[in-house]
Structure 1
Amino acid sequence: MFQDRDGNIWFGTEQDGVVRYDGGKLDYFTPVEGFSGTSVRGMVQDAVGNMWFATRGGVSRFDGRGFANYTTKDGLADDQVWCVLLDKSGRLWFGTEGGVSRFDGRAFATFPLPAADLSGAPNVNRSPKLINAIIEDRAGNIWFGSNGNGVFRYDGRTLSHLTTKDGLPDDFIQSMIEDRDGNLWFGTRFGGLCKFDPSVSRKPGKSAFITYTKEDGLTRELIWTLYEDGSGIIWIATAYAGLCSFDGASFTSYQQHEGLGNPSVHSVMEDAAGQLWVGTADGVYRFDGKRFFNWTKKNALAG
């Protein structure tokens, strides 16, 4: 989910392309309208207002009138695209099944990262170059969350690497965010939630990593998405265990009892009005601060 500069909310679906909601009507974009695929995994808006989508069929750009699509034929590392980042310089970064592609507005270039050794890994996605998440921190460093090879940090000149050997609880990284205090948070596939304090990492004898698991109140250690809202609450979307929030001291769990109809949560977004939207395996929910309400086509058109 993404809210653009005009206030439209975009919903990426698993099988039906992307949907745009302008507050009064829903617009559907599928391959029939020129969209590159049916499954959407990420989206951003660039400086001139173009929307960019990471899909299972490559990259799609929407300029408000039509779509331009990019695949391996155009230099993309792989057509299975998992995430997208627009950095402060206006460059686009795409995490794909075959590694990272960077787009400077003219051409795609492969950004080389070491492949993971998955020979002893659990039975998950076996793509050793897959990148699940890319973010930029306040200092301009680009972070890459990998499939079995931990986290990479690129400062514009050199590449550094963090794995379980350095304190990560798991090398399979699903999601990353930087919070308002400059801490990095990693949502993993097998190791729960991890907080990384870059300032502590420079102090000898102190660990920069804090890991949170079910023992700390997390409902499950397989995390799909992380999101920080305007009040500093960290939201943790889990696979088949609902939604959690973390206020810095304790976790709160949200399940069917709170109105969340499906326990598999894939995305979280706060809109410009402070309304929290949650994407699940059976549709979209809105949160009023206490309970979740299913947001359907019927009540969308009703406003």
Structure 2
Amino acid sequence: MGIVKTPFDNMKLFIVITLCVIVHSCKEQEKKSVIKKVITEKEKVSHDSNLEDKQSNNQSTQTSFQSPFVNNQISQVVRTIFQDSRGDIWFGSQNGAFRLNGKSLIHIDRIKNESGKGVTIKDITEDKDGRIWLGHTGGISSIDGELVTNYYESDGLINNDVWCITADTNGNIWIGTIAGVCVYNGHEFINFKLPKGKIDATLGVSSSKMVHSIVEDSKGTLWLSSNAGLLSYSNNKLIDVSDKVDIQTNFVNEVFEDKKGVLWISTKKDLFRLRGKELTNITKDNIEVGKGIGSIAEDKKGNIWFTSNQHNLYVYDGKKIIEYQKSEDNKGPVIFKIYSDQEDRLWFVGYGGAYRLENGKFLNITRSGPW
């Protein structure tokens, strides 16, 4: 005999099914809530860890380089390059600092500004004890083995906008900033008084106290390139060299000492050679300077390489100036720095990455070399 379902039976079935759906839904919601809570706790641990990382100045300095930069470049903008006494090559970029150890490129990931953000490295030097010092947009940093220490205005630095840094033979660290110069003696920062200069109205960033470069020559004299002209410092005496030798511009960019001890001075106006007290204008009436002379370097033959207006590259052999001609199949970067390494190889870094001059042509050096 068949079973006859009444409207009441159908109603009971509907209620049972509805209750099952509600119970299942509640369990799923509870499960999702538990999962969300676990994820939230993980996010909190990660956030707390990041804060701890940002607040710590003394940390392990390096991680394997894995950042995906444009076209495999070390960085799209490489501001400076430096080779230390161990032979390691350092690249300062808009993406921080990189160290080439053998054939391994390592990103130094603990260099931060006061708010914990990344910085652009503008200059690199090494002190007498082998520590590496970097000047950047967020202050300065030192690297001692596996540890990095960041220094800021809150530590006594004159200004966090650092443009140059050098270590003298006594171990003092000289720091040039947009607000002048200070010296770190290992214990404290001491402000170094300079004459007031002028603001370069043609640049987006400039000040009357700006210092672009500080170098120590082979005789132990410090040379400061500033918006107050060229200054030298030795035996506790500061001298206005621009006034003495008649460099007719306030805006001095860089001083370079060649292998013979001759000084080369790049300015907003021209390139000068300084032998003792004899100043010679190398570029006057020979080339169009444009926005000024930039970086200077010497090759293994003793030729002087320099940039004008960042886009133009020249070679001076002691008699004549020759423009290095670029072409569609031989393009380098917009040059910020020319550098000769310990093997006398010429490097050119700037906007567009890092390059070396090999057999008369620019060779693009990416994060995978060739080294």
| Shorter-normalised TM range | 0.7 to 0.9
Match for 1:87: what amino acid? D
Code of the aligned partner of 2:224:
F
C-alpha distance in structure 2 between counterparts of 1:92 and 1:58, whole Å: 13
Q: Give the alignment of 1:89-238 within 5 angstroms.
A: 89-118=170-199, 122-124=201-203, 125-147=205-227, 149-163=228-242, 166-189=245-268, 191-198=269-276, 201=277, 208-213=278-283, 215-217=285-287, 220=290, 222-238=292-308
Q: How does 1:253-272 map to 2 (within 5 A)?
A: 253-257=323-327, 260-262=330-332, 264-272=334-342
Give the drift of 1:256. 2.3
Q: Which residue of 1 aligns with 2:121?
A: 40
Q: How far does residue 25 in structure 1 lie from its aligned partner after superposition?
A: 1.9
Moved more, 165-174 or 258-267: 258-267
For residues 219 and 263 of structure 1, what CA distance do their matches in structure 2 show? 18
Give the C-alpha shift of residue 168 in structure 1: 0.8
Structure 2: give runs of 5+ residues left out of the alignment. 1-80
Q: CA deviation at 1:264?
A: 2.0
Q: Any idea what SS the aligned residue of 2:327 has?
A: helix
1:236-259 C-alpha deviation (Å, 9 max, x unpaired)? 133342322212112232242296
* Aligned counterparts of 2:138 and 2:307: Cα–Cα separation in 1: 25
Backbone CA RMSD of aligned residues? 2.2
**More divergent stretch after superposition (153-162 vs 163-172):** 163-172
SS in 2 for 1:297: coil
Could you say what secondary structure the match of 1:256 adopts? coil
Distance 1:108 1:156 in 2: 20
Q: Which amino acid aligns with 1:268?
A: I
User: Hey, what's the Cα distance between the residues in 1 that align with 2:360 and 2:198?
Assistant: 44
1:29 touches 1:35 (CA, 8 Å); kept in 2?
A: no
Q: Is the 8 A contact 1:277 1:284 kept in 2?
A: yes
- More helix by percentage: 2
Q: Deviations over 1:170-221 (max 9, x none)?
A: 22011111223332211112x12011222xx3xxxxxx22113363246656
* TM-score, scaled to structure 1: 0.86
| Conserved? CA contact 1:243–1:263, under 8 Å | no
Max radius of gyration: which structure?
2
Aligned residue in 1 for 2:88: 8
Q: Is the 8 A contact 2:332 2:362 kept in 1?
A: no
Unaligned 5+ segments in structure 1 are 202-207
Distance 1:225 1:257 in 2: 21
Contact between 2:120 and 2:137, CA under 8 Å: does it hold in 1? yes
Please give the secondary structure, in 2, of the residue aligned with 1:163: helix
Using the alignment, how far apart are the partners of 2:317 and 2:305 within structure 1? 9
1:257 match: secondary structure? coil
